[in-house]
Amino acid sequence: MAILFEWYENPVAPNQSQEETKLHARITLNGKTGTDRLRRKIQERCSLTETDVSAVLDALSHAMGEELAEGRQVHLDGIGYFHPTLTCTEEIKEDTKRKNTKVRLKGIKFRADQELRSEIGNVKLKNIKHNGHSNKLSDEEIDNRLTIYFSQHHMMTRSDFQRVCGMMKSTIMGHIRRLCGEGKLKNIRLQNQLIYALNVGYYGITEEVTMRKCKNPA
């Protein structure tokens, strides 16, 4: 088996020009291993029963929590280092009042020991083409797809838009706001569901066609 990954474009700030597109590799997780599977694997490698392993893991979680709550770094030999990290609830300046009350626990960071890295060994890497992220379409390409869609339909849901363009929800919502702002789409609400209809004059639709479709909905 191999570690699966995909190539993604590096984000570019709006005020930053970039002549050549730069990419970075991002792992695609190949499933998830839970406590039950780990418990069985540990039991196979030592004299502890699965019940014993569960008790040890539970005690370890409580003991680590107590140490981390005291602001200590916790080191497990052969596994790695754990330490708490902080964040502020708002932007803090030198003259901000009651600064100390605006600090919160952010999370727990982990740094692997070399022994754990060695256990992984020499890994195989495999690039995959995965649909877990949005297609990259130009505004013109999106318009072309919507023209085809609205030649057969008179309304569109957000899910329809996602299916037509092969994009994730967050990306589609950005395009919906853009198209509504440009006057190409309008937001109508039917039975508590957001529905998007086209405005006359866009995507090959005339007023005559629009009226005919409204009288005879698809």
Q: Determine contact, residues 185/196, Cβ cutoff 8 Å.
A: yes
| CATH of 139-215 among 3.40.50.1100, 3.40.50.1220, 3.60.21.10, 1.10.10.10 | 1.10.10.10
Q: Domain residues of the chain, as ranges? A: 139-215
Element (H, E) at 68: helix 50-69
Residue 14 in tokens: 């709006």
pTM of the entire structure?
0.56
- Output the tens digit of pLDDT for each of the chain's 218 residues: 688 887 776 766 556 665 666 778 888 777 788 899 999 999 999 999 999 999 999 999 999 999 999 999 999 999 999 999 999 999 999 999 999 999 999 999 999 999 999 998 888 898 876 555 566 788 888 888 888 888 887 788 888 888 888 777 778 888 888 888 888 888 876 555 566 665 655 555 544 444 344 344 43
Residue 12 in tokens: 């570019």
Phi/psi class of residue 121: alpha, beta or left (left: φ > 0; alpha: ψ in -120 to 50)? left
Q: Which strand ranges, in their side-by-side order, compose the sheet holding 103-112?
A: 74-76, 80-88, 103-112
